[in-house]
Structure 1
Amino acid sequence: MTTTAGPGPRGGTRTQPARTREGTGGGARTLVTGIGVAAPNGLGTRAWWQALLDGRSGIGPITRFDASGYPVRIAGEIRGFVDEDHIPSRLLPETDRVTRIALTAAEEAFADSGVEPRELPEYAAGVITASSAGGVEFGQRGLAALWAKGARYVSVYQSSAWFHAANPAQIAIRHQLRGPGSTIISEQAGGIDALARSRRRIRDGARLMVTGGVDSTLCPWGWAAHLADGRLSTSADPARAYLPFDADAGGHVVGEGGALLVVEDADAAARRGAVGYGIVAGCAATFDGADRPRLREAAELALADAGIRPEEVDVVFADGAGERAADRVESEALCALFGPYGVPVTVPKTMTGRLGAGGSSLDLAAALFTLRERVVPPTTGTRRAAEDCPLDLVTGSARELPDLRTALVLARGRGGFNSAAVVCAPAAG
């Protein structure tokens, strides 16, 4: 496994419309055929998607550790996830909670896709996922054992279970994926970046890739890092703590989980009768300059890669930082592309919190379900966008869009990462 940090700009231009062709550079088209979800408001895709449509949040008081002494005591936890119900007992001593969640999501994604990876040619399938923190809780336990008892009491798996690449490694072992493998580290943008790299591997000849992101940092060590970042909301009200694009926005809420996707060569998938959720039509990433945010450029590059004009975009899944200055930057980028109130915008992560590397992959999953169901899940908490964020924000309840065919997904990671992806309904292929 390889680890990558800090992707530079990607993308290109194309004259063919994405409604019939995918992206730049020719090569195989990439179809999403399976989705697995583990989220604070639903374990499994059906429970999670219904919760989104109902506007049901998974944010609440922290129960995974005693948070009574901390200034922030709410988060998006995956409640009811019993490790032993999902993971073989032999794997429990050598894995962190985040890897167990990732294995569970991967299992669902494969079942959803209907493909058996062991039946593919030996090196035809691989796995590329994103992580922003690795196995934080496992690392915390190891440090506690080291300082309290000594090195002899530190797990032999300490050298691997905490590592950012533990998730793709364990998924590859469990499903015998011998093809390309790596992990991406670009925080919230990581899920899109992992998808972009997997798309390139499909174009290089891979038949199938597992991709996306999962993070879980709800332990004292992880919480200390979030508090030090200084961008958490200090509101104690779960319903009003995370308010992207709201005049009262004061920070975000942390959550755990994410989504993993099975992506395939679209022609190979069609030959086995798979319809899929959507075509990955365009991807791009940029990195902020010292004095210039480049989120708009990432969106423009992704649209150009897909051959999509801004007026062809039917919905935007925004990053939604929940911090006034960052929200204005994103609003300005969207208004420059689509005009004020020019396209429906939603931030369903208000029901889960920001999930690190799992955030943009869960937004991708939501965008793909939106394409299939032709209904946009709402942004909760925020009642209406602030005057300096003139967006057509979907609030209150889900919005039906019968002609919906194209979605743009945006993400920003701490440190200046920006990523964008364009997904289109399968009929576009």
Structure 2
Amino acid sequence: MAAHLLANDDDQLLIDSHDLNTTPLRGNERDGVTHAQGTWPLDALPCGWRPIDIQVSGAAAAVDMPRPKGILLSSRAPAREAFARTVSIQNGDVRRAALAALGCCAASPVDRLAYFREKAAIDDASRSEEALAVLTERLATGNPPRCVDLGAGTLSLLPVIAKAVKAAGFATFEYLAVDRDRDALAEGLAKLQIQNTPWPADADPLASRSFERLRHGICDIGGVRCSIAVVCGDALDADAFGSFDLVCGSAFADLVRPEILADGLRRIGKPRGTAYLPITFSGKTELHPHGAEELLRAYDAHLVEDQKQYTDVERLIQILERNECSILSRASSDWRVPLSHAFAPYLIDFIGCGAVPRFFGGPKAVDAVRWARELRDRRTGILVARNVDLVIALPADELQSATRATRSHRRGDSLTQFLGLPGTD
């Protein structure tokens, strides 16, 4: 099923979910499909605007009717003429189609693998050398480490870990990558030359019951021999594969409630082990030179209130310390993304989708649309996302925690929702 968003003869915008080979509904036409219809008031907008009826049919009606306060469309002719009159909708994504019609975001959903490719370069340029030096020093005090990468994605953190292991004086290490996104893991594996080896016997029945095993073998990473295992499943159940000297998670910590993260680090990590959490978003997005301030503050609020991210790093640190963890390094790893960079459109798209609807029904709704359009059109400047890299010493005592059957680590994952991945069950 697919759909179109178009202007009808009454100067309204119609969303119609049909096969692309059929003609969209018009007027009082019927096709035997149940229709859902809603009107969103624009009373707070200037007098040139008026309410719009949105008709959603077929799969879109069942899948993704927008919340009443969430989607507003302009019927003011000058504004309408400024954007394309037909926008493709995939999977009944009414919200995105409506915002795309207003020029606030792209019509097509983000290609998550393309996003990960561009993101990897930004992450590499942002990671703190100070934090890596602390990590290297920490690793040098032990044996060749056994490492786990939580939310490993395309395995972009693997070369960073290998470099730290080598700098610590080791020629070998073990590495387990865990993520729910099978496609991302497969993309990361495609870049490696791995000599397959048999999987070891499971220490925990959950390892075979709840994880899909993708690859196990030996490979060379930057001159270091790596025993690699890659599995698809929930990162916070990685203790099914034993305990680890080093627990890593890039751009991961802000997606998990701090209390649950602290519990997970202690369960998965060995006593006196180490955690390395680079690119932990600390809650603020900026545009340099300054601009779109209100739009960006709305986006930051959207991540916390709507997407349920946990961006209060101070609170995270307090909870880690309450759980007997010690912060060895807290260094800045801000993303600095020129608007001309290939990664910038992804961030701008997230901002448009997340921030603009927060203004609808209020006096600045028109301004928010204008701000988003201006940001999409702008070619000079730098988007900055404030991040920190954390290096953490885990406590000496082993955590006595609840059984896996009774504990919960469900989280609101902003990236999962934006990129269309399955949510945590």
State if a TM-score over 0.5 links the two structures: no
TM-score scaled to structure 2, two decimals?
0.25
What TM-score comes out, normalization by structure 1 length?
0.25
- Rg larger in 1 or in 2? 2
Larger relative contact order (CA 8 Å, sep ≥ 6): 1
More strand by share: 2
